[in-house]
Amino acid sequence: MKRRKKTSISARKTPVQDRSTRLVADILEAAVRVLSKEGARRFTTVRVAEEAGVSVGSLYQYFPSKEALLFRLQTDEWEETWSVVGEILADARLSPVERLEKAVLVFFRSEQQEASLRAALDDAGALFRDAPEAHAFVEVTRREVRTFFVELLPDVPDARRSLAADVVLTAMAATAEKVTAQRPDRPTVDAWAKECAAMYVAYVESVALTARRETVTGTRRSPAPRGRRPR
């Protein structure tokens, strides 16, 4: 079997001189432009190089493959989005439920922001989705969300809580992707985000309830039900 590619999906070499640093930056910017304007189908190494005013050869000097370039874009996007969302989830000034609601809204908006880029990345996803590097990335996010859920569902058994966290994370990511793929306008996105947030909150509360009930008479006087309950 000679199916496995040898070239990893990570960067090939690191730029050391200034001009190459700039070159890599130019390529990345051009790549974003090409991807969002031309779509995944027409995303070509040569086209990216042209758009960047650079030779294809130079591109391959720093990215071992088209796959790698795409993965880099995906990674950058993901990191930018989660740096913001992560902060919200950790913002102690808000109640856990409020944080969740805000995070969902911001996430949806963020996905919409670069809709065409996201869509194209998604179409191209098959090219790098299976790489171990990609999987590792998602894992980090998952842990972050699980940690946040400790605050959200303190009295729920670990296994159940982790499942709930995964469910909400997956549902949010999948739904936002599908919704923004249709290029909705801002109010529409906000409406969806709000409904979804309401859904996650309702779910989380129901999990808290059933879990507390299952702890039978062990009424350890858990610290007043978190989150605003509907007035």
Partner DNA sequence: ATAGAATACGAAGGATCCTTCGCATTCGCG
Partner DNA sequence: CGCGAATGCGAAGGATCCTTCGTATTCTAT
Q: Using CB under 8 A, list all residues that contact a second copy.
A: 39-41, 123, 125-126, 163-164, 167, 170-171, 173-175, 177-179, 191-192, 195-196, 198-203, 205-207, 209-210, 213, 230
Nearest-angstrom CA–CA distance, 101 and 152: 12
User: From the list a second copy, DNA, none, which binds 15 (C-beta under 5 to 8 Å, kind-based)?
Assistant: DNA
Least distance between DNA and beta carbon 62 (Å) = 7
Of the pair 13, 183, the CB lying nearest a second copy is at 183
Q: Indicate the residue type of 63.
A: F
User: From the list DNA, a second copy, none, which binds 207 (C-beta under 5 to 8 Å, kind-based)?
Assistant: a second copy
Least distance between DNA and beta carbon 10 (Å) = 14
Residue indicated by tokens 């109640």: 95
Enumerate residues 6+ apart whose C-beta is below 8 A from 122: 177, 181
Residue indicated by tokens 């008479």: 217
Q: Using CB under 7 A, list all residues that contact DNA.
A: 7, 13, 15-20, 22-23, 41-47, 53-58, 60-61, 64-67
227 conformational bin, left if phi > 0, alpha if psi -120 to 50, beta if neither? left
Of the pair 63, 108, the CB lying nearest DNA is at 63
∠ CA 219-155-147, nearest 5°, is 170
Of the pair 92, 126, the CB lying nearest DNA is at 126
Residue 194 CB neighbour total at 10 angstroms:
14
Of the pair 26, 74, the CB lying nearest a second copy is at 74
User: From the list DNA, a second copy, none, which binds 13 (C-beta under 5 to 8 Å, kind-based)?
Assistant: DNA
Nearest-angstrom CA–CA distance, 159 and 162: 5
Least distance between DNA and beta carbon 37 (Å) = 13
Q: Are the C-beta atoms of residues 98 and 198 closer than 8 Å to each other?
A: no
Phi and psi at residue 18, in whole multiples of 5°?
A: -60, -45
Of the pair 84, 209, the CB lying nearest a second copy is at 209
